């Protein structure tokens, strides 16, 4: 059985009605900044930053990038030891005017140790003498290294030679072997110091040449 139609205005509306005794809710005010209350963004828009965007002069800055003068800095790069102007990159160790001087200093020390090893302790003086004669007149640094190595190796070469001559005796062999080992060890130490630009003072040395 169907329900008879309700008359108009007698609660036939589909809208919900407030409970009895309660007052209807007041209409909600539009949110601040929402459309209808000035809109969003606010009228006139947001003011631009001072000077506008991008900043005056544009980007990149005037003069361009890289900075005026280019890269590397004016004057270029000197691979022979001066390095960048005002810097010390690539400079030789202290005491060496050039890379060739360093090479001859290493020849004097390491060559002396090699001569003691190969020549049985007798020829340790050969390499220092060659370094002194070949480069000592042009470079005081090379001469100082060569003279120090020559005086030391010459002394211990003489001691080793005497020891080998006396090989008929037991202590003669020991003297020759000990002199050879001493010449090798201190020659290597002096070469390592020379590689760092330092002049090594040989212990137990004599002054044959100044």
Q: Where are the domains of the chain?
A: 99-195
CA distance 151 to 153: 6
pLDDT score of 93: 52
Q: What 3 state SS string does 156-189 have? A: HHHHHHHHHHHHHCHHHHHHHHHHHHHHHHHHHH
CA distance 32 to 4: 48
pLDDT tens per residue across span 127-169 = 999 999 999 999 999 999 999 999 999 999 999 888 888 877 7
CA distance 118 to 161: 14
Average the pLDDT over each of 52-61, 77-86, 107-116 and give the range with the smallest value: 77-86
Bond prior to 29 in cis (omega within 30° of 0) = no
């Amino acid at each position: 059985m169907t329900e008879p139609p309700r008359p108009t205005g007698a609660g036939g509306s589909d809208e919900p009605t407030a409970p009895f005794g309660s007052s209807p809710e007041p209409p909600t005010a539009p949110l601040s900044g929402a459309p209808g209350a000035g809109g969003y963004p606010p009228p006139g828009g947001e003011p631009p930053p001072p000077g506008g965007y991008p900043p005056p002069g544009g980007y990149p800055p005037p003069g361009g990038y890289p900075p005026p003068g280019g890269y590397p800095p004016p004057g270029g790069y000197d691979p022979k030891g001066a390095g960048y102007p005002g810097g010390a990159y690539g400079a030789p160790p202290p005491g060496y005017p050039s890379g060739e001087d360093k090479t001859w200093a290493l020849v004097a020390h390491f060559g002396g140790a090699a001569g003691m090893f190969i020549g049985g302790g007798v020829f340790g003086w050969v390499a220092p003498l060659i370094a002194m004669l070949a480069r000592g007149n042009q470079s005081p640094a090379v001469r100082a290294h060569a003279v120090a190595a020559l005086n030391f190796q010459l002394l211990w070469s003489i001691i080793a030679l005497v020891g080998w001559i006396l090989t008929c005796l037991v202590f003669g062999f020991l003297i020759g072997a000990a002199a050879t080992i001493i010449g090798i060890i201190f020659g290597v130490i002096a070469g390592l110091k020379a590689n760092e630009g330092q002049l090594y003072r040989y212990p137990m040395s004599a002054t044959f040449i100044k």
